[in-house]
Structure 1
Amino acid sequence: MNKKKSLSSVTKKLIMAITGGLLVFFLLFHGAMNVVSIISPDGYEMICEFLGANWYALVATVILAFMVVLHFVYAFVLSYQNWRARGKQRYAVVGRQNDVSWAAKNMLVIGVIVLCGIVLHLMNFWYDMQWAEIQGKTPASGMEKIRSIFSESYYSIIYLIWLAALWFHLSHGISSVMQSIGWNNNVWQRRIDIIGRILAALIVLMFVSVVVYYWLIY
């Protein structure tokens, strides 16, 4: 029974690692795409048109949505199982674990913030663009959406808070992905942590640059 439970836990962690890794690649693409809006607004509009309600974009959207749901569902399941497994220990006063990062200790809360940010982002952009086109309506201009949303200070601040949470989530998550596939020996662990933080910073900075740029000029 314990072996089955252990196998189930390992399988869930592996699924989270795979979906998380694929989502990191998506964020790299999405962040780079957003930076194009600063360099070439016309180029950004062309990308938005290319990724409208075309069949390949719809297939990619469905796959992406499935991965996001799977990733967060297993995250909540594993967090709940870990919470139950601790039993009475969760009420005990224990010393602070110096070898566990703040992000690791608060991964569930950070994940909830990230999930709320995704929902807000979908409402602000996807709903008026791809979803509108699916319904046969005229989709909103990507550039107009960016300018109108990030010209509002409260939206920009909310997005920056979300992106800060995303950095913590990614900085720990990327390291966890590497551990799940066995790259967590003494030699590589510190290097993996550094690589994870750098990659997380690269992704988040691409999004932050867009928010701050349009917040300041509009």
Structure 2
Amino acid sequence: MSKSKPVLNSSLGKKLIMSLTGLFLCTFLVVHLIGNLQLFKDDAGYAFNNYAYLMTHFAPIKVVSYLLYASVIVHAIYAIILTSNNKAARPIGYAASAGGANSKWNSRNMGILGTVLLVFIATHMANFWWKYHNDQVPYIEYRTDLSTGVTTSTEIQAGDFHDFTKVTENGVEILKARDLYKQVDYAFDNVFLVAFYVIAMAALAFHLIHGFRSAFQTVGFDHKKYVPIIQFLGVWIFGVLIPVGFALMPLYFFFCK
């Protein structure tokens, strides 16, 4: 224990914690994007509202959610600490000249990019997570004729039922649920919120292009055999595909719904 404390408190230890939490958050982004693709289904939110309920009520996922919140906080705190330590240890002239000449823009501005992402996370949680958990979203009822597979939907008022109930009566499946899909539709009718989401996803792209590769370097997984694969994943999957996928969602609701 006496040996582990200095290691964790060292600059390398802090970078290691940042790398591990960052890679965990990257994994979450993949899962979250796959789940949120349900928003593109033309089913009045049936698939997405089922997904939203699963994500907020399935016990194992709830445990992972708490780990996610902790990872975001720890990642941000250690980023602030490392940035402050680096600024304190580096002369101003050196930072302006040598640092700017030998590093890419996103690597020099990870603090700015991270700040934008923190504001984005707070905005995102306030618009969706908070309202969903505090009964500030509308309710919807889906009726699916099991013989034909046709589903109809109707907005309803909160009643004497749980926030998600599914029963079958006379060959009709009846689902009553909180309509987070409607809340998404409502939120992304705001052009300023849509613009901010797109800007935040651009910040996420630059953040991940540098951070993904850097995380693998820190944990020691930097063999020349695997570097091209890591670079490809960092740039094209986490730097392009995932941010673009998330950015398309507000744009889709604003322009197409």
Report the TM-score when normalising by structure 2.
0.74
Q: Quick one: distance in 2 between partners of 1:72 and 1:192?
A: 23
Is residue 191 of structure 2 the alignment partner of residue 158 of structure 1?
A: no
- Please tell me whether the aligned partners of residues 49 and 181 of structure 2 are also in contact (alpha carbons under 8 angstroms): yes
Would you say the 8 A contact 1:34–1:44 is kept in 2? yes
The answer to whether the aligner puts 1:129 opposite 2:129 as a matched pair is no
RMSD in angstroms over aligned alpha carbons? Answer: 2.4
Stretches of structure 1 that go unaligned for 5 or more consecutive residues are none
Equivalent-residue separation in structure 1 for 2:223 and 2:53 (angstroms): 45
Structure 1 partner of 2:155: none
- 2:139 counterpart residue number: none
Same amino acid, percent of matched pairs: 26
Name the count of aligned residue pairs.
Answer: 210
Report the equivalent of 1:108.
Answer: 111
Cross-structure match for 1:33: 35
Structure possessing the higher relative contact order (Cα contacts under 8 Å, 6 or more residues apart) = 1
CA distance in 2, matches of 1:53, 1:183: 36
| Counterpart code for 2:18 | M
The answer to whether the 8 Å contact 1:32/1:206 transfers is no
Structure 1 CA distance for aligned equivalents of residues 7 and 219 of structure 2: 19
Distance in 1 (alpha carbons) for counterparts of 2:69 and 2:9: 26
Change (3 A) 1:185 1:161: same
Counterpart mapping for 1:56-75 below 5 A? 56-75=60-79
Matches within 5 A, 1:1-218: 4=6, 8-39=10-41, 41-86=45-90, 89-91=91-93, 94-95=97-98, 97-132=100-135, 140-184=178-222, 189=227, 192-200=230-238, 201-218=240-257
| Partner SS state of residue 182, structure 1 | coil
The structure that is helix-richer by fraction is: 1
Structure with more of its chain in strand, by fraction:
2
**Residues in 2 aligned to 1:54 and 1:194: alpha-carbon distance in whole angstroms:** 34
Amino acid at match of 1:148: Y
